Amino acid sequence: MKGTAMKKEPSIIEVLQAVDPVFNAHLDTLHMGGTPWQEPPCYRNAETGETYLHLAGGIGWPWKDVPGFVVVIAVGKMPGEKGDAPLFTCMDELEDHRIEGLLEGCLRLRDRYGFRQNGNLFQTWYGDSTCFATLVNQFNLKLMEERVQGIYLSDPIDYQQSNYFELYKRRTQSLLTRDVAGRKSLTLGKCSRLRNYLQSLPLDAEDCPAITALGGVVYSLMVSTPWALRAQISEATTNDMDDFETYATMKGWDK
C-alpha cells in the first residue's frame, strides 16, 4: 500500500458556501449581543449539477463466502416536499473479499466525493467498529506513516440490537417503495451490484454485506439527520454592564 495511499483521486464534489450566519432574534431583543448560527454547507456534483445536503459512506464486512461491500450515499431534498425530507442516492459501490482492498476503496471514494473539500465529510464510515479491528488499525498505522488520515468506523445506529439486519433491510425496502405520488426516497443510481443483491436476497437471509452497508448508512442518517445540525459560531465575550443590568431588570433579578 506504500505510495498508493498518497495518490489522490480528483473530487467531483464542490462545497457551496453556507448562507450568512443566522442570528437568534429573541436574544437580540435582550441587547446581549448577537448569537450567530452557521447553517451547514451543501454540496454540488460537478458532473451532474445536482446538489446534496450531505454525503456519507458505509462498510459491510465479508460474511461467509460473500465479499465485503462499500457504498457512498448522497442526501438530497425530496422534490416537492416541505422542509428537509431526504432523498437518498447511491453514488458509488465496490466489493472485495480482502479487508485491505475495502479500506483502499474507501480512500479512493472519499477523495472522489468531497473528503478534501470539506472536513465534515467521511470523518467516519458507518460499519462494525470491532470486527477486523486489528486489521483496520494496522492499515491506519501505515497511513499515519504517510501522514494520511485513516479510515475510522462508527457503528450504525441500533447495530448492537440482535435484529439489526432486519431493521436495516426493512428500512431499505421501505425507502425503495413508491409513495402515493409514485416517488421513491432511495434511488440506486448506477450501483448495479446493490440492485442485484436486493433483488436476489433470500427471505430468510441472516446477513448480506451489501444490505448491511446500505441499510446501516440510510438508517443512521434518517435518525441523526446530520445535514440539519447548525453550528454556533464562537465569538469573544464582551462585558457590557448596561445590557446586563437591563436584562437582569427584565428578569426581576434586581429585586
Distance CA 11, CA 112 (A): 4
181 pLDDT band, cuts 50/70/90, is confident
Q: Which residues contact 112 (CB under 8 A, 6 or more apart)?
A: 9, 10, 11, 12, 13, 92
What phi, psi does 177 have (nearest 5°)?
A: -90, 130
| Whole-model pTM over 0.95 | no
Does any domain span residue 192?
yes
pLDDT at 232: 47
The average pLDDT across 182-189 equals 94
Residue 152 has pLDDT above 70, yes or no: yes
Spell out the residues 6+ positions from residue 159 whose beta carbon is closer than 8 angstroms to its own: 128, 216
Strands of the sheet with 36-38, listed across from one edge: 22-23, 36-38, 231-232
Q: What is the mean pLDDT of the chain?
A: 84
Residue 94 domain-assigned (yes or no): yes
- Mean pLDDT within 214-221: 98
Q: What confidence tens digit (pLDDT) does each residue in 57-72 have? A: 999 999 999 999 999 9
pLDDT (mean) for 140-165: 96
Has residue 26 been placed in a domain? no
82 vs 186, which has greater pLDDT?
A: 186
Is 125 a residue whose pLDDT tops 70?
yes
Query: Does a structural domain hold residue 189?
Result: yes
| pLDDT reported for residue 117 | 84
pLDDT at residue 80 greater than cutoff 70: no
**Rounded mean pLDDT of 216-230?**
91
Q: Is residue 116 part of a domain?
A: yes
- Answer whether residue 209 is part of any domain: yes
**pLDDT confidence of residue 251:** 45
Per-residue pLDDT band at 18 (split at 50, 70, 90)? low
* pLDDT band with cut points at 50, 70 and 90 for residue 85: confident
* Confidence tier at 37 by pLDDT (50, 70, 90): low
pLDDT of residue 108 exceeding 60, the answer is yes
Rounded CA separation 230/216 (Å): 24
Q: Is residue 247 part of a domain?
A: no
pLDDT band for 4, please (50, 70, 90 cuts): very low
Residue 78 class from Cβ within 10 Å (0-12 exposed, 13-18 middle, 19+ buried)?
middle
Number of folded domains that form the chain: 1
**Residue 3 belongs to a domain:** no
pLDDT at 118: 74
The enclosing domain of 188 has a CATH number of: 3.30.420
173 lies in which domain range?
A: 13-17+39-231
Average pLDDT on 182-209 reads 94
Is the pLDDT confidence value at 205 over 60?
yes
